[in-house]
Amino acid sequence: MVRTIALLIGAGFVFVLGIALFGTISTAITDPAPETAEHEFHHHPKDAGLSSAGLFGTFDKQQLQRGLKVYQEVCAACHSLKYVSFRDLEQIGYSEGQVKALAQAWPIEQPSVNPDTGEAATRKNIPSDRFPSPYANEVAARAANNNALPPDLSLMAKARHDGANYVASLLTGYQNQPAELLRKFPDAKTPQGLHYNPYFANLNIAMPPPITSDGQVTYEDGTQPTRDQMAKDVAAFLAWTAEPNLERRHAAGFATVIFLLIFVFLTWGAYKNVWRGVKH
């Protein structure tokens, strides 16, 4: 009796779910959602061709160092990197002395307290410090950016779909609104103070174009600092800040696969050896 009641209740749930599913599909067919500018004109990120992409990706340390320079001279004025310490830069090829010098020369200093007066003060960065924020707090950040809060970039390459490619595409994607967009969606005109970018989710972004021209930074290794090159380099750097252990993870995964293949082969051999005298 209990089993019968349980079956009836289960069948009732299935029936109700079936009706709901049918209603949803029917509505989608008879009354589809209206097209939006975001759906039609949003672009998927372009492939930046970074060496860290793919199952066997590795970081190009020279490119990471160039990306750091782009971050320092272009992005650091607005965006923080609060989960990265200066000493972490040793992983991308800098020596201990270079890290110390870079930390001390960083234009934004660490908040501190004057030991003599107890008043707020600043001090130079040391390798164990994390990259300092350009703003004292969120209120100051919004006040300086027309009430838009610049996001921290430490994990940006993980926070966005196809993160590193997204960053590179976004930085080079600023353009005028297409005439076709304004013709089909007259109300979708970019609001005052925003900038059209088809790689941004809602097409309009508060951040002005950060990379405006070739040669905006000077690379010490002689690489030509074109807009595309600078965008790719800082995207590679942010891919590293989001996942600095990527190379070790790839190596561990490859070793695990090799171990499993050997284990399967040995297991198969043991099976054949144990059962070879048994007739099927």
Q: How far is CA 80 from the centre of its chain?
A: 14
Task: Please count the helices (runs of H) and the strands (runs of E) in the chain.
Answer: 10, 4
DSSP 3: H
Output the six-digit token pair for 41.
Answer: 């004109």
Lookup: tokens for 94: 């800098």
Locus of tokens 């079936």: 18
- Show the tokens assigned to 157: 């390459």
Would you list which residues are annotated within the binding site?
A: 75, 78-79, 207
Where do runs of H (alpha helix) occur along the chain? 2-30, 37-41, 61-70, 96-105, 138-143, 156-159, 163-171, 179-184, 227-242, 246-275
Which residues, 6 or more positions from 46, have their beta carbon under 8 angstroms from its beta carbon? 165, 168, 169
Calculate the CA 124 to chain-centre distance: 29
Residues 83, 152 contacting (CB under 8 angstroms): yes
Would you give the DSSP letter of residue 221? T
Cβ 150 vs Cβ 141: under 8 Å: yes
Backbone angles phi, psi at 116, to 5 degrees: -85, -35
Residue positions in the annotated binding site for heme c?
A: 75, 78-79, 207
